[in-house]
Chain A
């Protein structure tokens, strides 16, 4: 059964680096792993997308090991405005199922 698992919550102090991991089995061979950020009462917002190894953009990095059974979103030097829920989204092999992770509620402490 396809499943995506994330830690329920994390706390971090301002200025630190935060790593959030998503575990996913049976991921589709040719499909990407995507991470989204959601603030209360808003729709999710795209952060980063990757297929393998490492991807970096202006706000985050994404690390994907060779077996692709997990991925780690890395937020450098977090600030209070990064307090939000973070979701990974994967597409599962065989049935193209779009499955959001359980979500990680990140709280940044001043």
Chain B
């Protein structure tokens, strides 16, 4: 059974870059779609975007100018970078796996809280 685990700094300074990694265990990263979703404190879920194992990406237009996703096949990981962060980027960040190209997010990590503060 595939499991996902987010990791990265819990505190990032304003204007800096948020970097998170999702480690996939119990299955291969190959031939799947991998997503990032976030949840600001007290608010709902926001879809950030996804990356296919080949490296092709689709981002939410609201974040597109600041987001980069990548895949590391050798370590069975994928990553998120969000530049020029502000307090509005404070959120629990989740990684997830889709079931296919036209599929919802089937398997999720538990999430990691990232706080943007000086």
The answer to whether A and B assemble together is no
* Chain B residues with a Cβ under 8 A of chain A: none
* Chain A residues with a Cβ under 8 A of chain B: none
